[in-house]
Amino acid sequence: MYKRFIKRPMDFCLSLTAIIVLSPVLLVLVLMIRKKLGSPVLFKQKRPGLNEKIFTLYKFRTMTDQRDEKGGLLPDDQRLTRFGNFLRSTSLDELPELVNVVKGDMAVIGPRPLLVQYLPLYNQKQKRRHEVRPGLSGLAQVNGRNAISWEAKFDLDVQYVDSISFVGDWKIILLTLKKVFKREGINANASTTMELFQGTRVDD
């Protein structure tokens, strides 16, 4: 009943309220990003959502467009500025995703929306993460985020799909706020961003 009738209205109300309350913060961030990182202020990327339907994800940009002498983009760690790292470590870069929640592309809580290129790499169990709307945060994000393996993340995603509940979602919301405040698990151990998913060898 919660998943079918309550979760979506609750997500809409929470995200719309957050946009209104945080509108002064959003405006300041837009101005600062424009000044420090340039335009466009928003980073847009296609991501798979519910039932693998593709949608456009919105985030604040955190990197410059610095390029090498051949015109190619420099590595992530060279384009990620101190300000951009601050946006990531505080999760402020993800605030525009509230618009995705209002539109119905995402939920407040659910498996994180990943790259479209990963779709053919999932095994049958991992594909089940798309049986629900992707979320701003999820069970994997409060249990390691970028500090755990892809396989561990996907196991937690499927665990969430099988156990969605009102109480469970609110527990994740509160744990997310705690982790954002403590800035835990933002970057992977060995890189600025999580390494690309290459597929799972064994189909569970």
Whether the Cβ atoms of residue 18 and residue 99 lie closer than 8 Å to each other: no
pLDDT band at 77 (very low <50, low <70, confident <90, very high): confident
Q: Can you tell me the distance from the alpha carbon of 91 to that of 203, in angstroms, rounded to the nearest whole number? A: 33
- Mean pLDDT estimate for the chain: 89
Question: Who contacts 170 (Cβ-Cβ below 8 Å, separation ≥6)?
Answer: none
pLDDT band at 116 (very low <50, low <70, confident <90, very high): very high
Q: Look up residue 1 and give its amino acid.
A: M
Q: Inform me whether the pLDDT recorded for 186 exceeds 60.
A: no
pTM, whole model, 2 decimals? 0.88
Q: Inform me whether the pLDDT recorded for 111 exceeds 80.
A: yes
Segment 71-83 shows an average pLDDT of 78
pLDDT band at 19 (very low <50, low <70, confident <90, very high): very high
